[in-house]
Structure 1
Amino acid sequence: MAKWAVDQSHSSIGFEVKHMMVSKVKGTFETYTAEVEAAELTDLTTASIVFKFDVASINTRSEDRDNHLKSGDFFDVENYSTIDFKSTNITKDGDDYKVTGDLTIKDVTKSVTFDVEFGGKGTNPWGVEVYGFEAEAKINREEFGLTWNAALETGGVLVGKDIKIKVELEVNPVA
């Protein structure tokens, strides 16, 4: 199995959630680590994938909101500093993949499946192989203990319960 490095300058870990039942708040985790091992990335079924998102690096473009998300109302970063994902099964789905793994948020672990699209393979100007992938999964945040919310005077709630996790990766072989 070869090791593959995530090019963090060409990759992102993001999420989106409904806000006030009418729009979406989007954010990213600016700091993360990734371990990708695979015999060949054109056949992702051979891969092992591990991610750790640094919760303190959350960025929604609002310092007040980010601080609230880091607090005990949501992620409780003082006690749970990372969100972890470890693949357990990868299957081919036409030209794409289903990557199932254990997602752990605040010591709650659930099986989550990402729909993964292989973006292609190329060679960068320095002669290094580059592979691209996009992945998306949807989770119910309440199942992971992220239950804070506020009722709106007009009905509904401030924060939706469904979270879309979006991952864009560019990887290349570890030298």
Structure 2
Amino acid sequence: MKKYTIDYSHSTIGFSVRHMMISQIHGTFESYNAELTVLDIEQVQDAKVSFSIIVASVSTKNFDRDVHLVSPDFFDADVYPKIYFESTSIEKLEDKQFAIHGDLTIKNITKPVIFTTIYTGSGMNPWAQEVYGFQAKSKIDRRDFNLVYNALLETGGVLISDEIDIVVDLEVNPV
């Protein structure tokens, strides 16, 4: 098994949620740690993937919203400072496409999730270092993790959708 490190300057853990049922709000987590070990980086079925995300690093490019997200109304970062993901199995779907099954833990609630993952390619960076790219996507229901804050709108509907889209873009390098 070979270990890979995340190139943080070329990687993103992002999410989006529908706001007022008319627009998408996008955010990222700026501070996280990830471990990837695998025998063959291009055929990842034997990989072990884990993430630890610092909740307080959430950024939606709106200070007041970010403060609200780390408050007890949402993530309650003082009590639950990290989000965790650990893969449990990986299956090949097609050439360069995989389903990464794993356990996602938010606010000490663990639920199974599946990330549809695409191996986006490899290359050599300007410093003669191998790089490999992946994009992983999943959808969760935030209520499953006790992220239940919401408000009803006068026009009908809700302020925040229950469905959260997660997109992880990774560039990794062998250690």
The two structures have a TM-score, normalised by structure 1, of 0.98
Alignment of 1:31-70 (within 5 A): 31-70=31-70
Hey, what does 2:78 align to over in structure 1?
78
What stretches of structure 1 of length at least 5 have no aligned partner?
Answer: none
In 2: Cα distance, 1:142 partner to 1:60 partner? 20
CA displacement, residues 30-60 of structure 1 (integer Å, 9 cap, x when unaligned): 0000010011201111210000111000000
Asked if 1:10 is matched to 2:49, the reply is no
> Within 1, Cα distance between the matches of 2:128 and 2:61?
36
Q: Which residue of 1 aligns with 2:90?
A: 90
Q: Which residue of 2 aligns with 1:147?
A: 148
In 1, the alpha carbon distance for the partners of 2:162 and 2:118 equals: 25
The unaligned stretches of length 5 or more in structure 2 are none
Paired with 1:128 and 1:66, the residues of 2 have a C-alpha distance of: 36
Q: Which residue does 2:164 correspond to in 1?
A: 163
Structure 1 residue identity aligned to 2:6: V
Point out 4+ residue stretches in structure 1 off by more than 3 angstroms: none
Question: The residue matched to 1:9 in structure 2 has which SS?
Answer: helix
How big is the alpha-carbon RMSD for the aligned residues of Structure 1 and Structure 2?
0.6
TM-score (norm 2): 0.98
Letter in 1 for 2:105: T
What is the SS of the residue equivalent to 1:61? coil
Cα displacement (A) at 1:120: 0.5
Deviation, 1:129, is: 1.1
**How many corresponding residue pairs?**
174
1 CA distance for matches of 2:72 and 2:50?
A: 26
**C-alpha separation between the residues in 2 aligned to 1:74 and 1:118?**
33
SS at 1:65's partner residue? helix
Show the counterpart of 1:125.
126
